[in-house]
Amino acid sequence: MAEQPQIIVQANVPPTKPFGARNDTNVRAAFADSPIYKNEITDQERKETYQDNALNGTVTNGNGINSFNLDFEGTTQDPVPNLEDVVTGGGGLPASPFVPNLASPGPGSVSAADQPVYNGEIKDPATNVEFGSGLGGTLSPDASSQRMSQATLGNYISGRSYQGSGG
């Protein structure tokens, strides 16, 4: 995030210098019907609008997606995934919550339903850090989504999804 506040719609008072400064009177005259100059929109109003329409709530009927919850909340029909609830084994099930079943279904079959349980070595994802920092891929979406939903405009932390998620 920028260290200095940026102009959104409310411009700073123009400096009194002959060159390189905007003429506020001329700008207001040219754009007299602008909602900015009618005080219909302000920096605070824009921030609240962004929070309400881009960070909170549920988007419905947009861009080919029936609905999407911006607060990362699940529903009864489509709950937020919990990695501890992932069923593993054969018959097309994953080998672990982090690894697909790598076992071959056997000669003559291409069906995942014929896969046996994968008995190979699966490294512990908590100790097998490949890249990056923070909590990595071992944090379950049901835990991380709750923390991510608390983000508000202005409290982002560079390189992190939420406080405590990276180092």
Pairwise pLDDT comparison (143 vs 40), residue with the higher score: 40
Q: Say whether pLDDT at 157 is over 70.
A: no
Confidence of residue 167 (pLDDT cuts 50, 70, 90): very low
Q: How far apart are CA 15 and CA 30, in angstroms?
A: 19
User: Which tens digit of pLDDT belongs to each residue from 66-84?
Assistant: 777 887 788 788 888 888 8
Q: For 20-24, 27-31, 115-119, which range has the lowest pLDDT when averaged over its residues?
A: 20-24
Q: How many helices (H) and strands (E) does the chain have?
A: 3, 2
Q: Are 130 and 98 in contact (CB under 8 A)?
A: no
